[in-house]
Amino acid sequence: DVKVTQSSRYLVKRTGEKVFLECVQDMDHENMFWYRQDPGLGLRLIYFSYDVKMKEKGDIPEGYSVSREKKERFSLILESASTNQTSMYLCASTLGTGLQETQYFGPGTRLLVL
Amino acid sequence: AQSVAQPEDQVNVAEGNPLTVKCTYSVSGNPYLFWYVQYPNRGLQFLLKYITGDNLVKGSYGFEAEFNKSQTSFHLKKPSALVSDSALYFCAVRDFMDSNYQLIWGAGTKLIIKP
């Protein structure tokens, strides 16, 4: 089974802090994704990556950056956390880029910015 | 523009009764349709998908969904609900004609099964 892990389940940070969220997948998947999940808004794509050192902006990249130095690891960085970034963050991966690909999700990180 | 609508924020069903969670979509080409489920305090899990072929798709945990092209719908169904089916359900779509690989997600429907 594919396993996607995220570094923290819960995180509390202060406004202005730099925040790192880490995601690791163990099945040699090519593609990795970062979403945020907010009630009533579903999932919104922040960034995705098709390969090591490659990144593409999603729908809401503002205030975020990402890093993919190794195939199995995809990091989401909040350069200066703000209260409107309080949310659930979900990492996902897919084996390939086909339209029929199933996404495999991590358990999520619930971030609270005070 | 591509979009997915889940018209009900919450669906309440008695245990043992059939359940339906609704999803409609709008794409410019042919759709690839997905259902995912999120159990409390857990990440999303894949339930089923429609790519092509038979309009009735069977998935995990006894769920099925019917693709209806004329009504642009992909409703999730189960003949007999279990309390353990209580969760948040998301419908998602990709457009076959769209070179962008992004999934378009619905807002989610909370399913509550009462004993």
Interface test with B, best of A43, A45, A57 (most B CBs within 10 A): A43
Residue of A nearest to B41 (CA): A107
User: How far from each other are the two terminal CA atoms of chain B, in whole angstroms?
Assistant: 41
pLDDT digit string (tens) for B37-64? 999 878 899 999 998 888 999 999 999 9
pLDDT at A96: 78
Residues B44, B65: Cα–Cα separation, whole Å:
18
pLDDT at residue A101, as a whole number: 83
pLDDT of residue B15: 97
Predicted confidence at residue B99, as pLDDT, reads 61
Residue B63: both structure tokens together: 């769920």
Q: Which among B110, B96, B108, B109 is positioned nearest to B2, based on CA atoms?
A: B96
Is A90's CB within 8 Å of B44's CB?
yes
Please provide the average confidence, as pLDDT, over all residues in chain B.
Answer: 92
R_g of chain A, CA atoms, integer Å: 13
Flag whether pLDDT at B101 surpasses 70: no
Strand-strand pairing, A31-38 and B19-21: unpaired
pLDDT given for residue B100 in this prediction: 63
Tell me the mean pLDDT per 10 residues along chain A, length 114. Answer: 88 97 94 94 93 92 96 97 97 83 92 97
Contact B51 A104 (CB under 8 A): no
Judged by phi (left if over 0) then psi (alpha if -120 to 50, else beta), residue B58 lies in beta
Compute the Cα dihedral for A46, A52, A53, A54 and give only its sign: negative
Nearest-Cα distance to chain A for B12, in Å, is: 17
Quote the pLDDT of residue B40.
86
Rounded-to-integer distance, Cα A106 and Cα A50, Å? 18
- Residue A107 near chain B (CB below 8 Å): yes
